Structures are given as C-alpha cells and as structure tokens.
Amino acid sequence: MNRAESEKLFVEALQYIPGGVNSPVRAFRAVGGNPFFVNRAAGAKLRDVDGNEMIDYVLTWGPAILGHAHPKIIAAVKSAAELGTSFGIPNPLEVKMAKLICGLVPSVQKVRMTNSGTEACMSAIRLARGFTRRDKILKFDGCYHGHVDSLLVKAGSGALTFGQPDSAGVPASFTQHTIVAPFNDFDAVKQIFAANKDEIAGVIIEPVPGNAGLYLPQPGYLEFLREITAANGALLIFDEVMTGFRLARGGAQELFGITPDLSTFGKVIGGGLPVGAFGGRAEIMDYLAPLGPVYQAGTLSGNPVAMAAGIANLEELEAVNAYQKLEQFGAQLEAGMKAAAQSAKIPVQFNRCGSMFCGYFTSQPVHNLADAMTSDRERFKKFFHGMLDAGVYLAPSQFESGFISTAHTATDIEKTVQVAAQVFRKL
C-alpha cells in the first residue's frame, strides 16, 4: 500500500508530539514500522490519508460497536452541539444516561459520570477505600485499569509480593498498598486474603481481560471472587470499561451472572466521545461528595454532547438486537480463523468472547498473562503487516483485543478469513 502522506505526517508529528502519537500503542512499536493516519471512517471501514481502505477490527479500541459514523450518533451529536458544547452545570442528558445505565445493569443503583475509563477506575478505587476504611487493593496480572499511579503495577516474585511501579514517575510508595495476583489463580487469592486479614478494601478485575490480548475466567473463578470478597468485607469491583454493553446489554456481569459491588464503564457509553462512569450499590455511591466524605469531580463530566452520543449508541443497540448479530459474526470469525491456521499448520490459540477476540501464536491454551507471553511475537508482527497490507486492520500489538461491530458483514468476515489463510501460509 502507498502510505506516502502518512509517512510525511508522522515525520511532522514527531517534531511536536512525543513519539508522534497521543497514546503509545498507536506508534506501532510492538509491530515495527510507522502508523498510518486516518481522515475518514464509516461503518466497518477506515480510510487513511493516502486513500487506502481497510476493514477495521480495532473500532477506536472498542467504542464503535455500531460501526463508525453511525447516522443516529452523528445526528445526536449535531443536535446537542447546536445547543451548547459544555455547560458546567447539570443538564437533562446526564439524568437520561444515568437512568439508562442503571436500567441496563442491575448491580448499579447509582452512577457518576467521568471523562475516561482511567478516571472511573481511579475514582472507584478511592471510593472503595473510603467506604471500607481500608487501604489495600488486589488487582490481577495482565488486567489494565488505566494509567492510575497506584494501579500501574506488575506482579512481584510471588503472589504475596507487593507490586513495583510499572512506569517511571510513579514512586514505589504509591503502589505499596497494591497487591497483584495471577489471573485465574484461586490459591493465590486465598493466600493474599489470609495474609492481609481485614486490610483489603477491594478487588478490581477485568472480568474478561482485554488488555493482554483476550482470555476468559475459568469456570467458577468470578463466583469465587464474589464469595471471598463478601466473606472478608472487601468490595468486588468489575472493570467493564471494555466489556460493558459490549458482551451483553448488562456487560460481562450479566453474561456470567455475577453481582459486583462497584463497576466501571467507558467505551460504548461514549459513542465515540471521551466518557467514563462508575456505579454500584446506593449505600456505597452515597459516600461520594457532596453527600459523603469521598471527593471526586470533573468539569466536563456529563458533557451534553458526549451524553447525547452515548445515549444514541445504547438505545440503538437495544433497537437492533445487536448482541445476537455480534455473536453470529464472532462465531463466524472464530471458526474461520481456526480452520485457516490449522490448514497452514500454524499453532494459534484463538480466544473469543462475543464480539471480542485475540489470536495468540502459541500451541498452549491461554488463561493468563504468563500463558499469553508464550506467544511468538515475531510471527505476530509478520501476521499483522500481512493483514494490513491486504486491507485488514488488527490491533498493532499481540497484547490487545480485537472487536467486531454490527456494521461488519458476513462478507467482511469471509474476506478477513481468506486474507488470514494467505498470510498464514507465508509465515
């Protein structure tokens, strides 16, 4: 593909933006080469500044569940913007969005809007600590909850080891109350609670981790976390920034039948605009200012344009019975990719949950971050560029989830599988 204009833009961007990008994964460092620049998107397709069209499985990292530039979302944004882009005072759309979320997610009795998933997770952690009057938080290796200082932590040498900062600029003291356990490890969690009796404020988890590729909870694991947190007076926090309103109308918690104490959201509820939210039981949420002692604020939280986009997104998902269609496309892609890899004798683990997926170049099943790290990343790089050159855009990292939208078609899926079969044979 000709990408001359993208190359020129990237050279210019490097002069004014660190690394030439405003979010690290966009830089293509994990796959090599330089990123392309997009100036138009519609449905399931992206068009770059050089005129190349691609089937998109990144979908702005999840929010475009109805596809890009959906007419109803565009109309809602235009209508809201004409009345004013920001008020800094309550507006009716905030109430409508809150009612929608509470109606779709039974565990959420009250909800507070934020501007990003990072803000939502940061606030949920603060609220859990304020409500329980405890300091320690348990998270899981491979689960990402935004670039919050206290949560940018890798696992230590053992399940009981306190985490060390995973970024320069984060003092070790900021993470001293964060404990990391391997995902899907029952015994590690039991040991952590035993060693930190009455000290753990909450357990935060992506119920289906989508930031280390994609892997699923083992049968009974989420139920186990619900039971052990309840028994120990800790809160269970589901980070559904990615999975919320994507895996089911009520998110992963509906899919798996679990009731967390708090949940965080983003992506889909923004309809392509920057939005986040956190919510849960009313008695916990009422600890927030102005009712309670836990402070949280945001000038642009509940922004009317963002609320309009998110409301249109959620309402359209209900209207078109989206989840049946997404499951159908997901199953088609999974079956096709597995068959293509098998035919080419390439070891691939293709993990999928609804409209989220990831293929790992490894012969062993992937249930956690350690398993994911066995994937052949050099082979993934070649696969990524082979797919991109043929007009199929996947996430530019082995450790990111792919997404499907209702705007994809069976023909798009079929073409994707055909391209993959050709690329597999060249690996």
pLDDT digits (tens, 9 = 90+) for 31-68: 999 999 999 999 999 999 999 999 999 999 999 999 99
Tell me the average pLDDT of the chain: 94
Using pLDDT thresholds of 50, 70 and 90, give the confidence band for residue 231.
very high
The topology (CATH level 3) of 4-66+321-426 is Aspartate Aminotransferase, domain 1 (3.90.1150)
Residue 3 has pLDDT above 50, yes or no: yes
Listing DSSP states for 226-272 in one string gives HHHHHHTTPEEEEE-TTTTTTSSTTHHHHHHT---SEEEE-GGGGTT
Least confident of 143-152, 268-277, 280-289, 367-376: 143-152
110 is known as an active-site residue: no
HSE-CB for 346 with a 13 A CA cutoff: 25
Catalytic, out of 48, 57, 141, 144 = 144
Helical ranges in 40-180 per DSSP H? 71-82, 92-104, 117-132
Mean pLDDT score, 302-313: 98
Domain with CATH 3.90.1150.10 in the chain: 4-66+321-426
State yes or no: cis peptide before 290, omega within 30 of 0.
Answer: yes
pLDDT grade for 143, boundaries at 50, 70 and 90: very high
Inform me whether the pLDDT recorded for 152 exceeds 80: no
User: Is pLDDT above 90 for 108?
Assistant: yes
pLDDT for 336-360, tens place per residue?
999 999 999 999 999 999 999 999 9
pTM exceeds 0.85? yes
Catalytic hit among 267, 360, 371, 376? 267
Q: Do you know the residue count of the chain?
A: 427
Could you give the C-alpha distances from 141 to 209, 373, 374, 382, in angstroms and in order?
A: 10, 12, 15, 27
Task: Kindly indicate whether the domain formed by 72-319 is annotated with CATH number 1.10.10.10.
Answer: no
In this prediction, what percent of the chain has a pLDDT beyond 90?
A: 90
**pLDDT tens-place string over residues 176-194:** 899 999 999 999 999 999 9
For the chain, residues classed under CATH 3.40.640.10 are 72-319
Q: Going by DSSP bridges, is the β-strand pair 262-265/235-239 parallel, antiparallel, or unpaired?
A: parallel
Q: Quick one: average pLDDT of 115-130? A: 97
One of 48, 185, 239, 261 is an active-site residue; which one? 239
What is the predicted pLDDT for the residue at 175?
76
The pLDDT score that the predictor gives to residue 165 is 60
DSSP state of 330: H
> What is the percent of the chain with per-residue pLDDT over 70, rounded to a whole number?
96
Could you tell me the pLDDT band of residue 154, with boundaries at 50, 70 and 90?
A: low
Q: How far is CA 248 from the centre of its chain?
A: 14
What integer pLDDT is reported at residue 157 of this predicted model? 28
Choose among 238, 208, 212: nearest CA to 401: 212
pLDDT computed for residue 166 by the predictor: 62
> What pLDDT sits at residue 6?
98
Could you report the per-residue pLDDT of 391-405, keeping only the tens digit for each?
999 999 999 999 999
Task: Judge whether residue 91 has pLDDT over 70.
Answer: yes
Q: Which pLDDT score is estimated for 156?
A: 29
Establish whether 412 is a catalytic residue: no
Q: Tell me if residue 239 is catalytic.
A: yes
